[in-house]
Amino acid sequence: MDRLDDLNLFLRVLDEASISAAARALDLSPAVASQRLARLEKDLGVRLLHRTTRRLHPTPEGLALAEQGRGLVADLDALVGGLRQSGGQVAGTLRVTTSATFGRLYLSPLLPEFLALHPQLRISVDLDDRVVDLVSAGYDLAIRIGALDDSTLVARRLAPNRRVLVASPDYLKRRGTPQVPADLAAHDCLLLTGTQGRQTHWVLADGRGGETAVRVRGRVESNFGELLRDAAVAGAGIALHSTWHVAEDLRAGRLQLVLPDYPPATTGIWAVMPQRRLLPPRVREFVEFLAGRFGDGAAWERGSAET
């Protein structure tokens, strides 16, 4: 157990980027933490960290240990957590990452309720629109939206991700309302950029059970959906958004549906987890909790006549 404890300390040092911070998190003195790290390096016969006056940098050997060692620590944590759960306790630190806007709108309001259900639990949430490596970054769970392309992860569908085209009433009054997908060529479209590059086409239903790819262009593009939503509300053009992002705007009349008979394909909102032999109880409980709160009815769409 000493070696696993030392490995856990090393992983916490990487997560905190500080020996002192890791020591505080594990209720150790910095001196003891430093001694245990030195013991781990001596036992393994390699240097794991480069220490400078400003920060710590993992060596290649340290990165390799972190990548493979997290699974060992996670399995032990899951085993211990499972034994504790048999006594009614979900404990430990749940590390979650999700997109900034979705996390703020729909995850944040649920956290107090979940914490109240599990008083021994801590939650660390990283709001980031980038797709991060869950294993190397040490996350238990990611909430991801759209199509999934990483087969090394385990995914649970939490809710449908229905998408729509929207524009402000003022824009449609000035520029006219498109009647068929081809009409988008004459309109300013608000385009999302990101890891897949800038959008040049929107794929919409063609009204005959198939799909059609429509070339789009516009004067505003961004890698942040919130900016495109703001631009749509301000009358700058037509945007493609998930209903969870614009449901309140549709209810309030700030935005209207465009081409409702030609919607983009529905994707999913997923709980994504690293592959593990044992799933920590804190992760299992949180995923079930979110599935119950979001549900296939997509709670953000309820009560909206527009959606």
Q: Kindly list the domain boundaries of the chain, sorted by start residue.
A: 1-68, 90-161+267-307, 163-265
Q: Is the pLDDT of residue 172 over 60?
A: yes
Task: Measure the CA–CA gap between 303 and 307, rounded to whole angstroms.
Answer: 9
Closest CA to 95 of 65, 59, 70, 60: 70
With respect to CATH, is domain 1-68 assigned 3.40.190.10?
no
Residues 222-276: tens digit of each pLDDT: 988 999 999 999 999 999 999 999 999 999 999 999 999 999 999 999 999 987 6
- The confidence score (pLDDT) of residue 307 equals 42
CATH topology of domain 163-265: D-Maltodextrin-Binding Protein; domain 2 (3.40.190)
- The confidence score (pLDDT) of residue 55 equals 72
Are 90-161+267-307 and 163-265 equal in CATH topology? yes
Label residue 74 exposed, middle or buried (CB < 10 Å: 0-12, 13-18, 19+). Answer: buried
- The confidence score (pLDDT) of residue 246 equals 95
CATH topology of domain 90-161+267-307: D-Maltodextrin-Binding Protein; domain 2 (3.40.190)
Q: Is the pLDDT of residue 83 over 60?
A: no
Task: Measure the CA–CA gap between 307 and 242, rounded to whole angstroms.
Answer: 11
- The confidence score (pLDDT) of residue 86 equals 46
Position 5 confidence tier, pLDDT thresholds 50, 70, 90: confident
Element of type H or E holding 190: strand 189-192
Task: Measure the CA–CA gap between 195 and 132, rounded to whole angstroms.
Answer: 12
Question: Position of tokens 């109240």?
Answer: 116
Position 105 confidence tier, pLDDT thresholds 50, 70, 90: very high
Closest CA to 199 of 168, 229, 220: 220
Please answer whether residues 168 and 255 qualify as being in contact, where contact means their C-beta atoms are separated by less than 8 angstroms.
yes
Task: Measure the CA–CA gap between 54 and 18, rounded to whole angstroms.
Answer: 10
Q: Is 130 helix (H, G, I), strand (E, B) or coil?
A: coil
Q: What are phi and psi of 126, to 5 degrees?
A: -110, 115
Quick one: tokens of 127? 């709001």
| Of residues 73 and 289, more confidently modeled | 289
Q: Work out the angle at residue 134's Cα, subtended by the Cα atoms of residues 130 and 135, and round it to the nearest 5 degrees.
A: 145
Please answer whether residues 10 and 37 qualify as being in contact, where contact means their C-beta atoms are separated by less than 8 angstroms.
yes
Please answer whether residues 160 and 190 qualify as being in contact, where contact means their C-beta atoms are separated by less than 8 angstroms.
no
- What is the length of the chain? 307
Quick one: tokens of 251? 């209810």
Task: Measure the CA–CA gap between 135 and 8, rounded to whole angstroms.
Answer: 14
